[in-house]
Structure 1
Amino acid sequence: MAVQPSQLASSDYTARHLSVLEGLEAVRKRPGMYIGSTDSRGLMHCLWEIIDNSVDEALAGFCNRIEVVLRADGSVEVLDDGRGIPVDVEPKTGLTGVEVVFTKLHAGGKFGGGSYTASGGLHGVGASVVNALSARLDVEVDRSSKVHRMSFRRGEPGTFAGEGPEATFTPFVDGSVLEIAGRAKRGVTGTRVRYWADRQIFLKDAAFSYDELVTRARQTTYLVPGLEIVLRDERDLDGSGVHEEKFRHEGGIGEFAEFLATDPPVTDVWRLQGTGKFTETVPVLDSRGHMTPTDVERECEVDVALRWGTGYDTEVRSFVNIIATPKGGTHISGFEAALLKSFRAVVTENARKLKFSAKDDKLEKDDVLEGLTAVVTVRLAEPQFEGQTKEVLGTNAVRGIVSRVVDRELTALLTSTKRTEKAQSALLLEKVVGAMRTRVTARQHKETQRRKNALETSSLPTKLKDCRSEDVERSELFIVEGDSALGTAKDARDSEFQALLPIRGKILNVQKASIADMLKNAECGAIIQVIGAGSGRTFELEAARYGKVILMTDADVDGAHIRTLLLTLFFRYMRPLVEAGRVYAAVPPLHRVEVIGQGRAKNEFVYTYSEPELHRLLSGLEKKGRRWKENIQRYKGLGEMDAAQLKETTMDPRHRTLRRVRMSDVAAAERVFELLMGNDVSPRKDFIVDGAARLDRERIDI
């Protein structure tokens, strides 16, 4: 039902606040312009705005500790030990600094220099936007040995007669009052902001994410060394009570890059630092209250931490004055351009050593970014962002400054004559050139990804026994161990949709080997070529020539080892195939029991797949009074089966059992592969020693 004007309390709408509410009413009407959305993402953005104001105090050197508390009543509180928001009267508006900050758009200490040389809250709208979108906001400021307090409802200052947003609210009419709520200890300063998000604005299911808070807090303490951030969740969502964590890091972005990296290193963490100046024309408010275009000289500080690892994934985090810019901007454009320029120049200079010729393709950006973990930070006054959400930096001059700093510093490292840096540079250049060759090879594979007709099959390995069907969803590729198994499998398969690719013995352990060595390995190359979707970063799942890839190895220790080596290849270079659930392991039987038929009935063959299953079968037969032939056949390998047996037990979709290889936890899988197949022997030795006591010796196939 619509509310009639006469139903509105006169105190809810006063002439004194027309100017204040005009601006904040625009925020309430179009919240998406300021916080991106009204779901959980927008709710978290409001919290970042308040936290960033405290972090700006830390950046300026006045704050050492920030505490963020998610209260059980749905509110959130942010406390810091900074200087505190100014409480004196601002001459132009006649309002206290607290009221200006929380009710005026584009008001704060980040305009025109003086208070902050570099800050995260750059538009002066953060606190006022959060205030406008809050059912209640309380702010307390410790300054001059006093505790100052003020409350707001949906952006309007006043007083609440009780706790929480439902308490009776009385707005100020004649003049706002910044209440003196008590005394603060001498020399103690700080700000406490507690607010309840307005559920008239935000969706019902919008909620604060503690995990996002943890990620942001950890990230911030890396970017501001020495700052301590305390997180406390009092909501008890999982029944475990109050949860509290503290974050503090002294190592800066170098330690952050080390934390983000997941693969073994090729280089140490390298720091690239420098500054640059540029002139910017900005409107400045003069003494008469007019905005006058003025040329202002700015300084931009660049600090980059980067390291390359053996993997092929790229992790680049970028920040402007500690504010994350997930969608990049001019600083990332300059960073990537400088990387490519430096590597192209150094690779050309070392062409003979790297066996790089003019016939080779030029290095591309992806070749250089492969395996890179980097943290790119710039600090400057009043950067230009695209939108209040600050996801993209738009200051054009930053591109050139970052590019020059990175090009100069990285080139110096890549051409350094110091023993450690020289050795790491050599490995890195080899990796980058190897990535380029992998890309070229993958492109060639991609060009031949479609099914070949009879005239074109010569481009695929001759040992591949392909199937006739071109239906990818139905087709299956069996990777089989050895020529003996191939001979039997050839007769056992359905050549309409089942293809066979034999491999000789144990393939290369690609967890230890370089990309170049992997590509030189005949077995690895054949597998990548037959699947036809490329490898590594350029792998395209849609181009895979088979719906299922089935690893069919012997049911013994060697077979398990070969299967592990194959899975390592798929995990590192064809991971999307595993993630899509298209890689399987065949399950061949271990035993064949010939059960003697009763009366004139023929003898029956029963297959079992493990020792316990065999014992259960024999016990069941014994209870039923059935007999079986002694000398139960124990299969040592696939080659011991005839074609009919292999088809019935392992290859016929109507009877076989397949184990799907899943990747429910990629991080855990990465750790296990590195433990079992990586270069570092000592953790693997510890794992074997620790597990020796749990080994069942009867299971060892001797």
Structure 2
Amino acid sequence: MVTAEYSAHHLQVLEGLEAVRKRPGMYIGSTDSRGLMHCLWEIIDNSVDEALGGHGGRIDIVLHTDGSVEVRDRARGIPVDIEPRTGLSGIEVVFTKLHAGGKFGGGSYAASGGLHGVGASVVNALSERLDVEVDRGGKTWAMSFHRGEPGSFAGDAPDSAFSPFDKKSELRVVGKAPKGVTGTRIRYWADRQIFTKDASFNLEELEQRARQTAFLVPGLEIVIRDERPSTGSDGVVSTEPVETTYRFDGGISEFAEFLAPDAAVTDTWRLTGTGSFVETVPVLQPTGAMVPTEVQRECEVDVALRWGTGYETRVRSFVNIISTPKGGTHQQGFEVGLMKVLRSQVEQNARRLKVGNDKIDKDDILAGLTAVLTVRLPEPQFEGQTKEILGTPAARQIVSNVVAKELAARFASPKRDDKTQTSLLLDKVVSEMKARISARQHKETQRRKNALESSSLPAKLADCRTNDVDASELFIVEGDSALGTAKLARNSEYQALLPIRGKILNVQKASISDMLSNAECASIIQVIGAGSGRSFDLESARYGKIILMSDADVDGAHIRTLLLTLFFRYMRPLIDEGRVYAAVPPLHRVIVMNPGSKPNETIYTYSEQELHGLLAKLTKSGKRWQEPIQRYKGLGEMDADQLATTTMDRGGRLLRRVRMQDAEVAASVFELLMGNDVAPRKEFIIDSSDRLARERIDV
């Protein structure tokens, strides 16, 4: 009976998509949360491509409570007429045929992110259920799919009874669309036979990329609505939907300002231009043959850039809004154009800038630069399937020419503001060059001193004896009182101690010169021995682990934050390599009284929750403990044995490794909490005040 119902029609629909279900990783990378997000962006990018072409100014993304996700746009709508070669409706072709769509040179898209024509059909193949509705021609058309196969469901749930179409697919008319209204609505349930159990949509990642897309397509409004229940920091479950809207009319100029981590030296400059080139590509003829044909291409270049007071470089490059994190020919051309103009300007002003015979290099120019580079061109060539590197050769020269021409015009501008800013920029570039040359000379003339040879290290450093960097540990200790106890508690063979007095300088606000002249910051950099900033050399670091040991109170947390700010800003490779740790001293000492001559047992707890759990467990087992329970306010309250056992001894201590999983998020939080701009910090404190547990305030 089952065999009779399995018609040739089913084979026709599934023949391509069956490969997707067998090898999903080939199409979406993985079947965890990353693959789930990849599918979502395949659908969203189709709507974004419409917006790029000037169709539709809003995209809505809804994360439903039942695990499904819905994407709505107000663009042209997927075609509903019959595609002549397959005899299927446009909707069915898009969702069931691999390498089918409007982006293969048919004139529907001048520039798009989707190039392979597999996005919608792959998502369909990996969905337990997918529903699509299209407003077009005054009607609302609908179609449903089950794991890539068109048919009808008996109910609204994904596990409702499904009946595949037997002989011919049916595109249903389910309503009337207002006159002139077009658009597409797609809702799908990811197939849990394919994706891992813990795969879920990451709201933070979704918001980050939506923000990026809104910057790249000025005027496009992207609305994200999360209807899933969420658990707050206080453990309370909220069922209120969370809705966020992204729209930036300033485009990539606003994007560059958003990305910039430092105070500005120049305003955000916009460099735009176009160039044309001839490319030989295979073109599909009506007969079905592919014929190599020379076509004229247009490449649009749009760059927003600004220099800041720092030394970090942030260059984001995009091709038709596709991020190219590893660069490519467009980024090479951008750097060549910058080098050409700035080298020429430095040579012309060599006398005023006192550069002598020294030459600036690329790193001198890129220091403190924040730039967003976008190019738009039809059918870009990428190196590999991941689209991370642009390979179109002509883009290099076109971008270089546009950047050189526009930047040279800025330097030649008679406006007072332009003259002031270009002069400041040249001063910055030359100072970076001189700092680089000075650091290189210093490195060549100074050999690294080990712990026994060093005579210039601070007197307050209690160094270790070993010369084995990997085995050594530097404890940065809060206060002299804790230092005395720590000296007795440490293993002097491999544990070094450096005390700091109270709260160090907030380096997020301070200049480099202020930081270097601060005694505490300077001594930390000197003791670690690897330099700072752009000249930081991880290989020269004198210790394998840097451990921040501060009191377990609010002041201790503040000191730890200030120290982490110093490492984040000026010694970031240590954090990137996972060599910075925070010691976790205990909060309580509970002495459990044992009956008879059996010695009492000492148990340390590290949080209020852990303490209450321990006491409940002791009570249940009928054990007593000494009152009052000792609550450690600071490291100085411990004796040497207690500090060694709980915090310093490798056999029993607890360390929290500081990792840079997401440097961008971390940078924005550092700037919010520690930066110069007070208003966002005040707003953050007010908005977050309801999350604060008052009993945690140390007063």
1:272 aligns with 271
Inter-CA distance 530–344: structure 2 relative to 1 (3 Å threshold): farther
C-alpha contact 1:442 1:534 (8 A) present in aligned 2: no
- 1:11 maps to which residue? 5
2:333 is the alignment partner of 1:339: no
Match of 2:362 in 1: 364
Q: Give the direction of change, closer, same or farther, for the CA distance of 1:500–1:84 in structure 2 (3 Å limit).
A: closer
For residues 520 and 125 of structure 2, the distance between their equivalents in structure 1, rounded to whole angstroms, comes to: 64
Out of 179, 182, 194, the position equivalent to 2:175 is: 182
Provide closer, same or farther for how the CA distance between residues 662 and 435 of structure 1 changes in structure 2, counting only shifts above 3 A.
farther
Whole-angstrom CA distance in 1 between matches of 2:680 and 2:126: 56
Q: Which deviates more, 157-166 or 347-356? A: 347-356
Counterpart contact for 2:547–2:580, Cα < 8 Å: no
2:547 & 2:37 partners in 1: Cα distance?
45
Structure 1 distance, partners of 2:144, 2:442, is 66
1:149 aligns with 2:133: no
**TM-score, normalised by the number of residues in structure 2:** 0.74
Shift of 1:204: 1.8
Partner of 1:379: 376
3-state SS of paired residue (1:273): strand
Match of 1:318 in 2: 317
Q: Deviations over 1:330-385 (max 9, x none)?
A: 22222233333333332233223222232x464133x3222222211111112123
CA 1:352–1:683 in structure 2 vs 1: closer, same or farther (change >3 Å)? farther
Map of 1:674 onto structure 2: 675
Identify the match of residue 91 of structure 1 among 78, 84, 87: 84
Show the counterpart of 2:153: 160
Deviations 1:244-266 (A, max 9, x none): 12222211111111122232111
Q: What is the aligned residue count?
A: 601
Residues 308-317 or 268-277, more deviating: 308-317
Q: 1:188 to 1:501 in 2, by over 3 A?
A: closer
* Superposed displacement of residue 154, structure 1: 1.8
Q: Distance in 2 between matches of 1:562 and 1:243?
A: 34
- Residues 462-508 of structure 1 show CA distances to partners (whole Å, capped at 9, x for unaligned) of 98989565344547599999xxxxxxxx9xx999889899999x999
Deviations 1:88-136 (A, max 9, x none): 1112222111111111222111122421111122222211111122121
Residue 463 to residue 163, structure 1, CA distance change in 2 (3 Å): closer
1:287-436 alignment, distance < 5 Å: 287-358=286-357, 360=358, 362-365=360-363, 367-436=364-433
Match of 2:216 in 1: 223
- The answer to whether the Cα contact below 8 Å between 1:449 and 1:545 also exists between their aligned partners in 2 is no
Distance 2:83 2:508 in 1: 64
Shift, 1:539, TM fit: 2.0
CA distance in 2, matches of 1:681, 1:64: 31
State the partner residue of 2:553.
none
Unaligned runs of 5+ in 2: 232-236, 480-486, 550-557, 584-635, 649-654, 660-665, 686-699
Question: Does the alignment pair 1:26 with 2:19?
Answer: yes
**Match for 1:11: what amino acid?**
E
Q: How many percent of aligned residue pairs carry the same amino acid? A: 64
TM-score by length of 1: 0.73
Tell me how far 1:203 sits from its aligned partner. 1.7
| TM superposition shift of 1:656 | 14
Judge conservation of contact 1:146–1:183 (CA < 8 Å) in 2.
yes
Aligned pair in 2 of structure 1 residues 218, 288: CA closer, same or farther (>3 Å)? same
Q: 1:152 to 1:411 in 2, by over 3 A?
A: same
Secondary structure of 2:325's counterpart equals: coil
RMSD: 4.5
Is residue 98 of structure 2 the alignment partner of residue 105 of structure 1? yes
Aligned in 2, Cα 1:387/1:147: closer, same or farther, shift over 3 Å? farther
**CA-to-aligned-CA distance 1:38-72 (integer Å, 9 cap, x gap):** 21111111111111111111111120121111111
Q: Is the 8 A contact 1:35 1:389 kept in 2?
A: no
Rounded Cα–Cα distance in structure 1 between residues aligned with 2:164 and 2:544: 68
Partner amino acid, structure 1, of 2:429: V
Match of 1:200 in 2: 193
Q: How big is the shift at 1:299?
A: 0.4
Q: Counterpart of 2:675 in structure 1: which amino acid? A: E
Q: Cα gap change, 1:35/1:304 in structure 2, threshold over 3 Å: closer, same or farther?
A: same
Residue deviations 1:298-321, cap 9 Å, x none? 101111111122222222222221
User: Any idea what SS the aligned residue of 1:393 has?
Assistant: coil
Aligned counterpart in structure 2 of residue 213 of structure 1, from 198, 206, 215: 206
Shift of 1:428: 2.3
> Partner amino acid for 1:57?
E
DSSP 3-state at the match of 1:254: helix
Distance in 2, matches of 1:72 and 1:9, equals 37
Instruction: Give, as a single letter, the amino acid of the residue that structure 1 aligns with 2:313.
Output: T
CA contact (8 A) 2:335 2:362 kept: no
Work out the CA distance in 2 between the residues paired with 1:53 and 1:125: 11
User: How far apart are 1:206 and its partner, in Å?
Assistant: 1.3
Alpha-carbon spacing, 1:267–1:453, altered in 2? closer, same or farther (3 Å)? same
Tell me if the contact between 2:99 and 2:116 (Cα under 8 Å) persists in the aligned partners.
yes
CA 1:388–1:101 in structure 2 vs 1: closer, same or farther (change >3 Å)? farther
Query: 1:164 & 1:110 partners in 2: Cα distance?
Result: 33
Check whether the contact 1:474–1:547 (CA below 8 A) recurs between aligned residues.
Answer: yes
- Residues 440 and 179 of structure 1: CA distance in aligned 2, closer, same or farther (over 3 Å): same
Aligned residue identity for 2:273: G
Distance change >3 Å, CA 140–CA 572, structure 1 → 2 = closer
Question: Who is 2:227 aligned against?
Answer: 234
SS at match of 1:191: strand
- The corresponding residue for 1:284 is 283
Alignment partner of 1:450 out of 448, 451, 455: 448
Per-residue Cα deviation, 1:563-593 (whole angstroms, up to 9, x for no partner)? 9999876553234557844699xxxxxxxxx
Asked if 1:531 corresponds to 2:528, the answer is yes
CA distance, structure 1, for counterparts of residue 66 and residue 564 of structure 2: 50
What residue identity is the alignment partner of 1:350? N
Of 22, 29, 47 in structure 2, the residue corresponding to residue 54 of structure 1 is 47
Counterpart check, 1:170 vs 2:163: yes
Match of 1:66 among 40, 59, 66: 59
Q: Tell me, which stretches of 5 or more residues in structure 1 are unaligned? A: 1-6, 482-489, 553-560, 585-645, 688-702
Conserved? CA contact 1:478–1:498, under 8 Å: no
1:111–1:474 distance in 2 versus 1, CA, 3 Å: closer
Is the CA contact 2:271–2:402 (under 8 Å) kept in the aligned structure 1? yes
